């Protein structure tokens, strides 16, 4: 018997397609701003599923999570509630490089996100697969789902992850799917391609999941969390490990020549090398077979065993992503020391999927081709939960603002890693899955993980997303930071008070009284130790860290601020949307081609396009009378 479905009576302001990290942030941001939102997902039990590694943050990614939190998003809060181990990476380097990272309970992470979604006002959830976007007189008017229902909306945000025409590979075996055991999303790519949206294929992969009880962990290097773990959110709620007082361990293991030999014996059956996989894979997170080819002759590669939850034996083997046949995978794993009796829950596999050219997007992540259509996450050619969540947040904010006739919310490169991420995508495009690194940011001493709230919370509060509680916490924190800085800049220490400490760290003793700021400028000195010797009230650890960075690195910070101010002037030089670059014959031919293709909004944006030289920028400045 054929079932007939009626069209839903309710209509929405915004529909979000996909409930991954991007979709969840997009839906909650738009709803918290006041839009009526429908989030459509293929499986409500896989909300914000950690499809790959069970961790949030890391190099530059940790800064992004802090920025999302400062803006009023939820990724930092959810991570803190799900954390099973926390580490601050790169502590041996300068503060621009410090990056928080948390291992998470994957099941708890998804459950915590679902609680947020289900309790967010003005946000509804529907389980199904979107097959097409509907139009009325060339304007978006909603979506249609596979079971026949139709939903009306003024804007649509696509956050479909790796599910658009997704295909899975293990050796000679392949199947349709966005994740193992899950169906792909079909129909959307073909519709958008017909409407002028450029699309291509990318590839990602995931390693096997392992039963830790089957391994001899005494053969591995133990990797524990920080003794005093921090957290992501700037709010006052403790993280799960701070409240429990316990963390789960990770382990470091290594491959060996025997492992490599077994893996290489399967290369003839690898879909990566036989041409079955045509999508481009992530250069910075390669499969184990890619590593063996790229670093031929290397005897060993480091792998990490990461726990997937508090109460499970399941561990994730970071660094062993593969699409090799199952028998080759198991044989190679058994050749690792301590893995001789290994049991696996799931094999490694590769996923190939559709993405869309991000240079066809505005800085708001709205399509230049189809008004009120937004793209966020891996559909824009990025990789990583953090990059996806950041895009989702910005798409949700801007979809709401546009529907309400307000100015767009755009972050500059000197304001946030999120600004760097989106600017890179829309001006440079992608030829491989994009991953954020600190090296991509010109102003990384300004974009530290400790000051994301100072940079972004007030801006978010002014558009109505960040709460008053969050805003007041930020103001109070920086009143204390400034008080601490003033004390350091205006107080002195005598030789009798400070020399014992200086000698203990191998620093030259002083012979006359010195300002605390001068002493703190020395490389090995610590403000927390100085304040124990020259006490002045009580400051929280985060206040002391921020004050110490501000004093110790003041010269670098001021230099970067001056450099950023010069670029901001170029950001304010707007290029008309319909400007004809071909008529400026003084521009190089390559420059004109690139400018016509990418249609930069400002001269600063034009300066970041590959193929546009400083000489070309000078020509543009002269042409526009500057």
Q: What is the CATH number of domain 209-349?
A: 2.40.30.260
Average confidence score pLDDT of the chain? 93
- Per residue in 569-607, pLDDT tens? 888 888 888 889 998 888 888 899 889 888 888 888 888
Domain 572-623: homologous superfamily in CATH = GidA associated domain, C-terminal subdomain (1.10.150.570)
Q: Which two tokens stand for residue 53?
A: 């590694």
When mean pLDDT is compared across 92-101, 335-344, 346-355, 582-591, the lowest value belongs to 582-591
Please compute the mean of the pLDDT values over residues 214-237 and round it to a whole number. Answer: 97
**189: pLDDT strictly greater than 70:** yes
For the cut 80, the answer to whether the pLDDT of residue 5 exceeds it is no
Tell me which of 416 and 612 has the higher pLDDT. 416
Give the model confidence (pLDDT) of 435-468 as tens digits: 999 999 999 999 999 999 999 999 999 999 999 9
Q: What is the CA radius of gyration of the chain?
A: 26
564 versus 217: which is more confidently predicted?
217
Contact 180, 365 (CB under 8 A): no
pLDDT above 60 (res 120): yes
User: Could you tell me the pLDDT band of residue 545, with boundaries at 50, 70 and 90?
Assistant: very high
Mean pLDDT on 160-184:
91
DSSP summary character for residue 508: P
C-alpha distances (whole Å) from 212 to each of 138, 168, 219, 253, 341 are 55, 25, 13, 13, 10
Give me 530's structure tokens: 């100085």
Look at 11-20, 147-156, 569-578 and tell me which has the smallest mean pLDDT: 569-578
For the chain, give every domain's residue range. 11-203+353-463, 209-349, 468-559, 572-623
Q: Is 292 helix (H, G, I), strand (E, B) or coil?
A: helix
pLDDT at 625: 64
Quickly name the fold that domain 468-559 has.
Answer: Arc Repressor Mutant, subunit A (1.10.10)
Q: Homologous superfamily of 11-203+353-463 in CATH? A: FAD/NAD(P)-binding domain (3.50.50.60)
Q: Is the dihedral of CA 577, 580, 581, 586 positive or negative?
A: negative
Paired tokens of 533: 């010797």
Judge contact between 230 and 65, C-beta under 8 A: no
């Amino acid at each position: 018997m054929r079932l007939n479905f009626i069209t839903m009576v309710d209509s929405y302001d915004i529909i979000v397609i996909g409930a991954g990290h991007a979709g969840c942030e997009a839906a909650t941001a738009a709803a918290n701003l006041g839009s009526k939102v429908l989030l459509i997902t293929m499986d409500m039990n896989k909300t914000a599923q950690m499809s790959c590694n069970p961790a949030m943050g890391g190099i530059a990614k940790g800064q992004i999570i802090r920025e999302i939190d400062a803006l009023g998003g939820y990724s930092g809060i959810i991570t803190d509630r799900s954390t099973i181990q926390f580490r601050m990476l790169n502590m041996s380097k300068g503060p621009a490089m410090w990056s928080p990272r948390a291992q998470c309970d994957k099941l708890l992470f998804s459950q915590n996100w679902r609680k947020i979604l289900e309790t967010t006002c003005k946000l509804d959830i529907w389980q199904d697969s979107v097959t097409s976007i509907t139009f009325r007189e060339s304007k978006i008017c909603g979506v249609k789902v596979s079971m026949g229902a139709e939903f009306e909306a003024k804007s649509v945000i696509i956050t479909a992850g790796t599910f658009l025409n997704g295909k899975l590979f293990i050796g000679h075996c392949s199947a349709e799917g966005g994740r193992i055991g899950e169906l792909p999303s079909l129909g959307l790519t073909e519709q958008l391609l017909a409407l002028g949206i450029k699309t291509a294929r990318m590839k990602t992969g995931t390693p096997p999941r392992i039963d830790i009880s089957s391994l001899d962990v005494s053969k591995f290097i133990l990797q524990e969390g920080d003794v005093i773990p921090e957290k992501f959110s700037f709010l006052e709620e403790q993280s799960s490990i701070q409240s429990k007082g316990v963390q789960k361990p990770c382990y470091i293991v290594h491959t060996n020549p025997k492992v490599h030999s077994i893996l290489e014996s399967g290369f003839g059956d690898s879909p990566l090398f036989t041409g079955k996989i045509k999508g481009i894979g992530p250069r910075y997170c390669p499969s184990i077979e890619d590593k063996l080819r790229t670093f031929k002759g290397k005897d060993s590669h480091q792998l990490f065993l990461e726990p997937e939850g508090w109460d499970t034996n399941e561990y994730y083997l970071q660094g062993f992503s593969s699409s090799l046949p199952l028998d080759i995978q198991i044989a190679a794993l058994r050749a690792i020391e301590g893995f001789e009796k290994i049991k696996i829950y799931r094999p490694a596999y590769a996923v190939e999927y559709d993405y869309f050219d991000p240079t066809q997007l505005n800085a708001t992540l709205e399509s230049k081709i189809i008004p009120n259509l937004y793209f966020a996450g891996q559909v824009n050619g990025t990789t990583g939960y953090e990059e996806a969540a950041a895009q989702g947040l910005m798409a949700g904010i801007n979809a709401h603002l546009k529907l309400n006739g307000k100015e767009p919310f755009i972050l500059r490169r000197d304001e946030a890693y999120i600004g760097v991420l989106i600017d890179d995508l829309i001006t440079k495009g992608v030829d491989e899955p994009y991953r954020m690194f600190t090296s991509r940011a010109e102003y990384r001493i300004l974009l530290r993980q400790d000051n994301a709230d100072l940079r972004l919370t007030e801006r978010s509060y002014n558009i109505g997303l960040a709460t008053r509680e969050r805003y007041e916490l930020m103001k109070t924190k920086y009143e204390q930071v400034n008080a601490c800085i003033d004390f350091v800049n205006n107080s002195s220490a005598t030789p009798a008070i400070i020399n014992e400490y200086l000698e203990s760290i191998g620093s030259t003793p002083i012979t006359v009284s010195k300002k605390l700021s001068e002493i703190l400028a020395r490389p090995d000195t610590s403000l927390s130790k100085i304040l124990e010797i020259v006490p002045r009230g009580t400051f929280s650890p985060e206040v002391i860290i921020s004050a110490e960075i501000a004093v110790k690195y003041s010269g670098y910070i001021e230099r970067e601020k001056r450099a950023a101010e010069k670029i901001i002037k170029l950001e304010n030089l707007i290029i008309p949307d319909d400007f004809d670059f071909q008529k400026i014959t003084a521009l190089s031919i390559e420059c004109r081609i690139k400018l016509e293709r990418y249609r930069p909004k400002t001269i600063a944006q034009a300066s970041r396009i590959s193929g546009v030289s400083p000489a070309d920028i000078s020509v543009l400045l002269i042409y526009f009378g500057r």
